[in-house]
Amino acid sequence: MPFASLGLSPALAAAAAAQGFQSPTPIQAEAIPPILRGADLLGQAQTGSGKTAAFALPLLQRVQETRLPGQRNVQALVLVPTRELAAQVGGVLRGLAAALPSPPRIAVVFGGVSINPQMMALRGGADVVVATPGRLLDLVEHNALRLSGAGLLVLDEADRLLGLGFADELQRVLALLPRQRQNLLFSATFPDEVQQLAQRLLRDPVRAEIAATPTHAPDIQERAIQVDPERRTQLLRHLVQTHGWSRVLVFVATQYAAEHVAEKLYKAGIFASPFHGGLSQGARKQVLQEFKDERWQVVVTTDLAARGIDIAQLPAVVNYDLPRSAVDYVHRIGRTGRAGEGGVAVSFISADTQTHWQLIEKRQGRKIPHGQMPGFEPTKTAPAAAVPGIGGVKGRRPSKKDKLRAAGLLPPLGQSSE
């Protein structure tokens, strides 16, 4: 099926081909026609399925159709949760727009860098703005742009926009937009809070949902390996060397762990670098580019890299620390097996994370093969005081009441304090 058959103009169909889009992916085929008709849309598909182009192509066409000569008012707004995703979405839009006869002006703005260059860049106006919520609001307060004419809104990674403190900022942004507009929500997962937002925000939306069937699911070979926590770095080094992975994205729980594990690997002769929110924007950009250029073999990262990071032909992902939720697991492993390529996702589990791993499996409705690696067999067992199920799928940190029970200051669960 050619892109032109979806209703795209010949110029945009040619632009898609020039950017390497040979034919529409399922989510693109489902989403592009209703977006071109002006309908609201709820788009859900697995990571690596082409969601960005699914809204970028029709967005550019609608901007081209409505833009007046010489006009530089913001017509379309794309909200994203991270700087990296903003840069990636902006890159896709600019790449497609460059092939158009009269390309729209696209601005990409995010925090973590000086606001002054972004304000200077907006002096000539912009047709399309890709932004993180906080920096967007800063620019509005500085009168660098106005959103009263933005007739098209895209929420990319909508579930993440409702977390990490973005919910209040999102409401403030929505209040600045015209009431009559087209709304598009895209994400790989749609938990309850996003469904509630969709009900409030969308009007008679078209649902473009591509299930992870064997036909559409990414080719990711998943497995879990049982190992004692203190031997995880040794096992990671063994896997990297044994399998000869050219690049590996390793997920850990904290910025300190990213620095620590990367340093251990580097000292062992593996080119590894940390990547986390504590680095400057320039350093983060450099690490990602060097990783894409295969100058780093391993990047050890927090969940900062779990979404919006598109690294072509990434062979493997390793969960050194388990994610806090099943949704985060889906996004983490989705960094590999993209665009029809195969990939490997390995998770390390120990005696004290076994219950959490089982909850992740339960939320996904399937079992993932797991076992032991010769030479790295675990020796530890689950603590006798552990109470199965406490902590839930969000993590295994004990609550304040759990700590008081362990200290004997509160009665055990099921017993009255009277």
The tens digit of pLDDT for each residue in 277-295 reads 888 888 988 998 899 888 9
CA 361/CA 36 separation, integer angstroms:
38
Domain termination residue (choose one: 209, 227, 261)? 209
Any domain includes 386: no
Domain termination residue (choose one: 152, 182, 209)? 209
Any domain includes 86: yes
Does residue 292 share a domain with residue 150? Answer: no
Does residue 186 share a domain with residue 284? Answer: no
- For residues 158-184, give the mean pLDDT: 85
Does residue 126 share a domain with residue 84? Answer: yes
- For residues 226-255, give the mean pLDDT: 94
- For residues 141-160, give the mean pLDDT: 91
- Residue predicted with more confidence, 319 or 19: 319
Report the pLDDT value the prediction gives residue 307, as an integer from 0 to 100. 74
pLDDT over 80 at 34, yes or no:
yes
- For residues 320-349, give the mean pLDDT: 88
Report the pLDDT value the prediction gives residue 392, as an integer from 0 to 100. 45
pLDDT over 70 at 418, yes or no:
no
SS (H, E, C) the chain: CCHHHHCCCHHHHHHHHHCCCCCCCHHHHHHHHHHHHCCCEEEECCCCCCHHHHHHHHHHHHHHHHCCCCCCCCCEEEECCCHHHHHHHHHHHHHHHCCCCCCCCEEEECCCCCHHHHHHHHHHCCCEEEECHHHHHHHHHCCCCCCCCCCEEEEECHHHHCCCCHHHHHHHHHHHCCCCCEEEEEECCCCHHHHHHHHHHCCCCEEEECCCCCCCCCEEEEEEEECCHHHHHHHHHHHHHHHCCCCEEEECCCHHHHHHHHHHHHHCCCCEEEECCCCCHHHHHHHHHHHHCCCCCEEEECHHHCCCCCCCCCCEEEECCCCCCHHHHHHHHCCCCCCCCEEEEEEEECHHHHHHHHHHHHHHCCCCCEEECCCCCCCCCCCCCCCCCCCCCCCCCCCHHHHHHHCCCCCCCCCCCC
Any domain includes 22: yes
Does residue 159 share a domain with residue 113? Answer: yes
Does residue 125 share a domain with residue 242? Answer: no
Any domain includes 131: yes
- For residues 122-135, give the mean pLDDT: 93
Does residue 42 share a domain with residue 140? Answer: yes
Does residue 127 share a domain with residue 11? Answer: yes
Does residue 169 share a domain with residue 21? Answer: yes
Band of the pLDDT at 260, cuts 50, 70, 90?
very high
Band of the pLDDT at 105, cuts 50, 70, 90?
very high
Domain termination residue (choose one: 153, 178, 209)? 209
The structural domain count of the chain equals 2
Q: What is the CATH number of the domain that holds 37?
A: 3.40.50.300
- % of residues, the chain, pLDDT over 70: 86
Report the mean per-residue pLDDT for the chain.
85
Does residue 170 share a domain with residue 80? Answer: yes
Does residue 204 share a domain with residue 79? Answer: yes
Report the pLDDT value the prediction gives residue 213, as an integer from 0 to 100. 46
Q: Which residue range is the domain that position 239 belongs to?
A: 219-372
Does residue 58 share a domain with residue 27? Answer: yes
- For residues 224-245, give the mean pLDDT: 95
Any domain includes 110: yes
Any domain includes 392: no
Report the pLDDT value the prediction gives residue 391, as an integer from 0 to 100. 45
Tens digits of residue pLDDT in 385-417: 444 444 444 444 555 555 555 555 555 554 433
Any domain includes 98: yes
- For residues 53-68, give the mean pLDDT: 90
- Residue predicted with more confidence, 405 or 354: 354
Any domain includes 409: no
Does residue 303 share a domain with residue 170? Answer: no
pLDDT over 90 at 364, yes or no:
no
Mean pLDDT lowest among 68-82, 291-305, 361-375: 68-82
- For residues 25-53, give the mean pLDDT: 89
